[in-house]
Amino acid sequence: MVDLLEHEGKKLFKKYGIPIPSGYLINSTDDLKEINKESIIKAQVPAGHRGLNGGVKKIKNKNEAILVVNRIKKLSFNGFNAKSFLVEEAIKHKKELYLGLTLDRSLKMPVLIVSPYGGVEIEKIPAKNLGKFHLDIFLGMSEHVKRDAFSFVKIDEALRDKFYSILDSLWDIFTGEDAELVEINPLAVTDINLIALDSKITIEDDALFRHPEYKKTNDYLDPIEAEAKSKGISFVRLSGNIGLIANGAGLTLATIDQIKLAGGEAGDFLDLGGTDDPSKVAEAINLVKKSKPKVLFINIFGGVTKADTVAEGIVQAIKSSDMQFKIIVRLKGVNDEKGRKILTDNHIDAFTDISEAIKKAVEASK
């Protein structure tokens, strides 16, 4: 997936008719214009929680802006440093909404999500305050969905047409740009308008052949993901504290679900594929180590992959680097008995049963 930076998303918003604050992009303080009203400086990084981490600041004049930019440049946002900044007018508003259009993979349908409470993480909004409306891919943003969504967010009747227009634009972006997610959080409600204060747009990378303008360099990737990509390893950083290595995308995804059901949170998605090269296994472990998990869970179902050579790679990684976390392994398949013996001889917990292994990993993570 390709996550657009905020200013890139807002450029699309403007193109499709969604109101945004006036502003401009800078790469250094030399690009700053005179500031004579309250404005906002925003770090442009492909990471969330910018506000909580000091990447979004209000300023009143150019001198303040210079100080803020120089301060933000020293910060790290999940491994990224800001190389550009969005300077925007501060919009006075009386309410904030949440609007998001994404794909419900379980139903294989687009879903519109709205809330009368914006400005916070969608995961933290109580379910009763979230309106979810599934859309027929052929009918799109139908009138009854717009009516129901408008009723749910409870804003002034005078803003109905503007609200409908924004929903239509979300659909046009979602379909026209091959997006997987189009999100406005928050959508500011003023007396006379609705204005997108932030943007989050994710483009489906399988559609990039239609959108070469969205192809990103490794500068836009998570540093660990970029390193993994350069080594031909499938790695995606997640938000939990259990590092995960498994062989095969299906097994990896299923393991993430099982960790969640057991009360844990996976901290990464690392697909080892079909390799059982000990050096590759060691390399994968050292990649996960950089994300600083509390525990590393390795789930190997051996077919093409031989369990004993995977075990040798695990031991090799431990001996070559100081591991500050517990490693728990589930081995099943070709040479699994031999592999588990290699692990237990080196004081590593090894299991055959997946449920037992995951339970142990979740306990260790807490």
Using 50, 70 and 90 to split pLDDT, how confident is the model at 138?
very high
Beta carbons of 228 and 287 less than 8 angstroms apart: yes
- Say whether both 225 and 359 belong to one domain: yes
Which listed residue (177, 183, 283, 312) is catalytic? 183
Q: Domain boundary at 212, 243, 258, which? A: 212
Q: Residue 77 belongs to a domain with what CATH number?
A: 3.30.1490.20
**Domain assignment of residue 298, yes or no:** yes
Contacts of 110 (CB under 8 A, 6+ apart): 101, 102, 103, 104, 134, 135, 137, 174
**Considering its fold, how many domains does the chain have in total?**
3
**Domain assignment of residue 7, yes or no:** no
**Domain assignment of residue 9, yes or no:** no
Q: Give residue 216's pLDDT.
A: 65
- Say whether both 200 and 67 belong to one domain: no
**Domain assignment of residue 2, yes or no:** no
Interatomic CA distance for residues 317 and 320, integer angstroms: 5
Helix axes of 249-261 and 354-365: crossing angle, nearest 10 degrees = 60
Q: Is 183 a catalytic residue?
A: yes
Q: Domain boundary at 193, 212, 231, which? A: 212
- Say whether both 102 and 202 belong to one domain: yes
Does the CA dihedral 171-177-178-183 come out positive or negative?
Answer: negative
What number is the average pLDDT over the span 135-150?
96
Does the CA dihedral 46-52-54-60 come out positive or negative?
Answer: positive
Q: Give residue 73's pLDDT.
A: 93
- Say whether both 103 and 64 belong to one domain: no
- Say whether both 45 and 138 belong to one domain: no
Q: Give residue 219's pLDDT.
A: 57
Q: Is the peptide bond before 223 cis (omega within 30 degrees of 0)?
A: no
Length of the chain equals 366
What number is the average pLDDT over the span 319-329?
82
Domain span holding position 338: 221-365
- Say whether both 256 and 357 belong to one domain: yes
**Domain assignment of residue 14, yes or no:** no
- pLDDT tens-place string over residues 333-363: 888 899 999 999 998 899 999 999 999 999 9
**CA 273 from chain center: how many Å?**
23
Interatomic CA distance for residues 13 and 17, integer angstroms: 6
Q: Give residue 152's pLDDT.
A: 98
**Domain assignment of residue 267, yes or no:** yes
- Say whether both 105 and 150 belong to one domain: yes
**Domain assignment of residue 127, yes or no:** yes
Q: Domain boundary at 166, 183, 212, which? A: 212
Nearest in space to 264 (alpha carbons), one of 352, 363, 331, 121: 363
- pLDDT tens-place string over residues 184-228: 999 999 999 999 999 999 998 888 889 888 876 555 667 788 788
Contacts of 322 (CB under 8 A, 6+ apart): none
- Say whether both 75 and 134 belong to one domain: no
- pLDDT tens-place string over residues 13-31: 999 999 999 999 999 999 9
**Domain assignment of residue 17, yes or no:** no
Nearest in space to 344 (alpha carbons), one of 356, 331, 363, 360: 331
Q: Give residue 167's pLDDT.
A: 98
Interatomic CA distance for residues 3 and 32, integer angstroms: 26
- Say whether both 143 and 277 belong to one domain: no
- Say whether both 322 and 267 belong to one domain: yes
Q: Residue 359 belongs to a domain with what CATH number?
A: 3.40.50.261
- Say whether both 106 and 65 belong to one domain: no
- Say whether both 176 and 204 belong to one domain: yes
How far are the Cα atoms of 178, 179, 236, 262 from residue 1, in angstroms, in the given order? 11, 9, 10, 28
Q: Percentage of the chain surpassing pLDDT 90? A: 58
